[in-house]
Homo-oligomer: A and B are copies of this chain.
Amino acid sequence: MSDVARLAGVSIKTVSRVVNDEPAVHPDTAERVVDAIERLGFRRNLGARNLRRGSSTGTLGLIVEDVGNPFFSELNRAVERTAAAFARQVLTGSSDEDPERERELALEFCARRVDGLLVVPAGERHGYLVPEMRAGTPVVFVDRPAGDIVADTVLVDNAGGAAEAVAHLTACGHRRIAFLGDSQEIYTARERLRGFREGCARAGVRCEERLVLMRPPTAHNVADAADRLFAGRGSATAVVAGNNRVTVHLLRALALRERRPALVGFDDFELADLLDPPVSVVAHDVSALGETAAELLFARVQGDQSPPRKVVLPVRLVARGSGEAGPA
Contacts and interface: CB of A to CB of B under 8 A. Distances in A.
A16 to B, nearest CB: 14
A57 to B, nearest CB: 7
B51 A80 contact: no
Nearest to A90: B92
Nearest to A287: B68
Contacts of A51: 45, 47-48, 51
A245 to B, nearest CB: 10
Interface string A86-109: 000111111000000000010111
Interface in A60-113: 66-70, 72-74, 76-78, 80, 89-94, 105, 107-113
B67 A112 contact: no
Contacts of A70: 70, 73, 270
What is the count of identical protomers in the complex? 2
A135 B45 CA distance: 13
The 4 closest A-B pairs by CB, nearest first: A41-B131, A68-B77, A73-B73, A46-B111
Interface of A: 41, 43-48, 50-51, 57, 59, 66-70, 72-74, 76-78, 80, 89-94, 105, 107-113, 131-132, 134-135, 248, 251-252, 255, 269-271, 273-276
20 contacts: A43-B110, A43-B111, A43-B135, A46-B108, A46-B111, A46-B112, A47-B51, A47-B112, A51-B51, A59-B91, A73-B73, A73-B76, A80-B93, A80-B94, A89-B112, A251-B271, A252-B273, A252-B274, A269-B270, A275-B275
